[in-house]
Structure 1
Amino acid sequence: MNRDRTAILITCHNRKPKTLACLDALFNQVLPAEVTLDVYLVDDGSTDGTTEAVRQTYPQVKILPGDGNLYWNRGMHKAFAEALKYDYDYYLWLNDDTILYPDAIASLLTTSHHLAAQGEEKAIIVGSMAHPETGKLTYGGLARNSWWHPFKYKLVEPDKDPQPVDTMNGNCVLIPRSVVQAVGNLDPAFTHSIGDIDYGLRAQQQGCTVLVAPGYTGKCQTNPPQAHAWLAPELTLRQRWQKANQIKGFPPAESKVFCQRHASRLWLFFWALPYVRLVSISILGAAEDNKT
């Protein structure tokens, strides 16, 4: 059997130009003869003609329809679940706003092979993304940078050798079959965000490793941090809570699952912490307004 049968997993929603650009870079990869790619694209209810454009330009892509309510994590879960039926050697998460460099997939596979030869067969390989204009790191591997807070992370700059990290952003992530057999799919308990970080942490718990691949793998611009929109100073307490409770914020039910799973006995403290901060910011803001 071909050792490098690879399933590419993508989800999209109303970003036709970006999705097509992502696919263009994907299908222009310089690959060894033994590597084959099958693309699974979840179109989560796009109304901008994404599905039609992809079918016309890239008819080999397997398109899975969504109803517009899947968002990133559940869309990727759906693509992953479909690909799992065919028992691939590798599964590659790929954001549709990511432009891979021509040798990206070959480099990720080479890194995986080298690590496997050294005994690290259950290793997730994370591709680092550079800002298209500044060249600065935007997404990639994440390492804890707080001695007391388990969910404070920093991006890890890629080096000439693979760098161990705690977890990752899901923009470009290569997962071998051995990891999938241990960890399974993304958890649909999460709708949009957190799922990629949760997967990396669960992988570590199952004896897998997470490493940043050498060098940069592609380009991706930083998306606005919608999860922190509730920090805007002009908001009322009710507005803050509504923004925090949105799917792209940090919904309490999903945050609870994450904290219970990864914060041990102190999960309740770390779960409550951002919501206490939310109330505090509103009270302090109101107090300042009363002084003026």
Structure 2
Amino acid sequence: MKSNDMNRSEKYFSKPKVSAAVVTYNKKESILKLLTFLETQNIPTFITDNGSIDGTREAIQNRFLNISMLESSEYLGRTGGFNCAILAALSTGSDYIILLDDDVMPEFDCIDKLSLFLDTHKDYVFAAPAVFIKPKQNILQETGGCVDFSKRISAEAWNPSQTGPHLPEYTDIDYASACCLMVRADAILKLGVMDWNYITFNDDVDWCFRLRNAFGKGACVTTAKAYHDSQWSKSFNSLRLYCLEQNNLYLKAKFRRGLSDINSLTSILIRLYNIWLYSKVIGDNELSNTFFHVLCDAWHKRYGRWKGSIQFGISRKKLDKTYFIENRINRILIDSSSEEYDPQIFEAITACRKDLTVDILCDADRVENFRKKKLFSNVYGRSDGKIGTLATFFRIKRQRYDLVVTDTSMRERRITCMAGKHSAFFNDKRLYEASNRPFIAILSRGVTPAVSILLAWVTFTKFLNTQTSSIPFPDAKPLLEKIGIYPSGGQPWNRICNVPFAPSPHFSSESSNCSPKIQIKHILGRVKNLFISCFPGPGIEKKTKFEKFYNPPLS
């Protein structure tokens, strides 16, 4: 960070009520709107730029008075970016830190309502607004959620996709999305930032769970609103899929408590093994290789950044006009996974050849919607369940389609995607040839679950003990040093003396001068916390008693 940025912030802020921690990556338009909003709110903001290449950094520099920019040459992930911004924001001495994604927009009074709630409810450690889907502003994304480690999916969002539900003024929650989340600064100084072993996904669930376990409760203040502009349907992205699956496994292993949680962990392993084996058998190598790395890295306790990456379509043949002519493609079926991609698939097909018959297979509840659009010649609804899927497959098989196309969603391919003479994937506005092994897929659907169950029960003990320290990865070192934090720790108590940031009011002037006596006290405190973190016991993390040296208690 540039020192003049910090001096500029110091000029206007002595001790604000709220400071903002923001992370951005290649979202110039939306981040400029958010920063303009924060500027009007007079909130000091610390933003981590994760190596954007779309001109975000240049657009922000020297444009906002109250913005301090943390420039990273490498992609640190959402967790790493937020952690750096949080550590920098703590330097203001504000009462609260609000985390904001670069694609979220709070209502004008949202931040005031959250801070007022925490002011008047001392037993709550964090608060979040009701989050709505920005393109569809009357539809909820979530109102926080609950955490149950005995379930296969530990975190469950509340009121997703609901339209205008009746909600109380506030409700107790187990976690809230970090897209818009306000946390007490003194709690962060005691507990620390998010677990660095996450890149994205479940970092907020883990953090909220530890905050609640140590300090109090969390709330969704439903009268406060924010709008999140995120792409809800995702095409195949190996890094995103890797982080999603591995972090779910890591979260489960980290906080397991009893037999029910172990059974839940085993059910996750069964699913991972099943997708890996099934995708390998039917020739979907990108998906199978990604799941193999998830299992392999978790086995060897390699959490955090994935050193490898798998790009879709490198070894696949791209479909063009020549392919359609040579293979006499006349009748095509789109096996729909996401309604968002269906018009794009139709456009890619017609770009290869105009005089085609294009039909669509979709969920039964979307049939009428597609028929009203009159874009496709025929619309079919798929049946649910294993028997229903088989019945749908043979019904489509009798239609003798020349090509069946589906999008590359982050899940295994259905057998109906192989019901034609040829199969294809749609990814990033292009069509790619896919393997077509329908009867092998049907046989595999019966065999791989049994093999997966056996593998999971034989190997699950290897995944029980995480025993991994939360240490920043090397790419975060330059940024942490500029912030004034030792890169080996990456926590608020790992402060470096004589840095551009003003010392936090929570630290005494004696500690800021770094006398030998105080330095020894710092070191002993760090050793004690490191010792505690290294021996958390076999189950849930124990509540840790922190020294009063760091800051006064929450209440």
Fold similarity call, TM over 0.5: yes
* Pair 148,191 (structure 1): closer, same or farther in 2 beyond 3 Å: closer
Conserved? CA contact 1:44–1:67, under 8 Å? yes
Contact 2:149 2:255 in 1 (8 A): no
> 1:200-219 maps to which residues of 2 (within 5 A)?
200-219=208-227
Over 3 Å counting, the alpha-carbon distance change for 1:152 and 1:160 in structure 2 is closer
Deviation at 1:284, TM superposition (A): 6.1
Assess, with a 3 A threshold, how the Cα gap between structure 1 residues 17 and 158 changes in structure 2: closer, same or farther.
farther
Aligned match of 2:271: 277
**Aligned-partner Cα distance in 2 for 1:127–1:94:** 12
1:261 to 2:258 alignment: no
Task: Tell me, yes or no, if the aligned pair for 1:145 and 1:154 is still in contact at 8 Å.
Answer: no
The Cα offsets for residues 209-265 of structure 1, whole Å up to 9 and x where unpaired, read as 110013242211343365x959xxxxxxxxxxx668634x323xx445422332224
Q: How does 1:215-254 map to 2 (within 5 A)?
A: 215-224=223-232, 246-247=242-243, 249-251=244-246, 254=247
For 2:264 and 2:39, the matched residues in 1 are separated by 43
- 1:142 and 2:145 matched: yes
Q: Is the 8 A contact 1:28 1:102 kept in 2?
A: no
Match of 1:78 among 76, 84, 92: 84
Q: Give the stretch that moved more between structures: 157-166 or 122-131.
A: 157-166
Q: 2: CA distance between counterparts of 1:112 and 1:257?
A: 31
Alpha-carbon separation, structure 1, partners of 2:265 and 2:50: 30
Which one-letter code corresponds to 2:271 in the other structure? R
Which has the larger Rg?
A: 2
Pick 1 or 2: higher relative contact order, CA cutoff 8 A, min separation 6.
1
The amino acid of 2:125's aligned partner reads A
8 Å CA contact 1:158, 1:212 repeated in 2: no
- 1:194-216 Cα offsets, whole Å, 9 max, x none, are 11111111112113211001324
For 1:255 and 1:49, locate their aligned partners in 2 and report how far apart those are by CA, in whole Å. 33
Corresponding residue number in structure 1 for 2:128: 126
Matching residue of 2:184: 176
Q: Would the aligned equivalents of 2:16 and 2:93 in 1 still touch at CA under 8 Å? A: no
Structure 2 runs not aligned, ≥5 long: 1-12, 160-164, 283-414, 416-437, 443-555
Distance 1:80 1:179, change over 3 A: same
Write the deviation string for residues 156-209 of structure 1: whole angstroms up to 9, x where unpaired: 578342100111111111111343244221111111121111111111211321
Give secondary structure in 2 for the equivalent of 1:159: coil
Q: Secondary structure of 1:46's partner?
A: coil
How many residues are paired up? Answer: 267
CA contact (8 A) 1:158 1:215 kept: no
Mapped partners of 2:14, 2:94: distance in 1: 10
Quote the residue 2:199 is aligned against.
Answer: 191
Q: Which residue of 2 aligns with 1:50?
A: 56
Alignment of 1:7 with 2:9, yes or no, is no
Shift of 1:92: 0.4
Match for residue 155 of structure 1? 158
Partner of 2:328: none
Normalising to structure 1: TM-score of the pair? Answer: 0.79
Q: Which amino acid aligns with 1:274?
A: I
Give the conservation status (yes or no) of the 8 Å contact 1:138–1:222: no
C-alpha distance 83-132 of structure 1, shift in aligned 2 (>3 A)? closer
1:146 Cα deviation (Å)?
Answer: 8.8
Q: 1:87: which partner in 2?
A: 93
Q: Structure 2 length as normaliser, TM-score?
A: 0.44
Deviation at 1:22, TM superposition (A): 1.4
Q: Which amino acid letter does the alignment assign opposite residue 220 of structure 2?
A: V
Correspondent of 1:114 among 115, 120, 136: 120
Q: Match of 2:75? A: 69
The question of whether the paired residues in 2 share the 8 Å contact of 1:9 and 1:93 is answered with yes
Preserved CA contact (<8 Å) 1:130 1:216: no
- Cα pair distance change 1:201/1:229, threshold 3 Å: farther
Alignment root-mean-square deviation, CA: 3.1
CA-CA distance at 1:148 after TM superposition: 4.6
Q: Structure 1: which 5+ residue stretches go unaligned? A: 30-35, 231-241
Structure 1 residue 141 displacement after superposition = 0.7
Higher strand share: 1
2:319 equivalent in structure 1: none
Q: Indicate how the Cα distance of structure 1 residues 5 and 244 shifts in structure 2: closer, same or farther if over 3 A, else same.
A: closer
Aligned to 1:26: 38
SS at match of 2:242: coil
Return the letter of the residue paired with 1:129: V
Cα distance between partner residues in 1 of 2:140 and 2:205: 18
Which amino acid counterpart does residue 34 of structure 2 have in structure 1? C
Alignment pair present for 1:290 and 2:439: yes
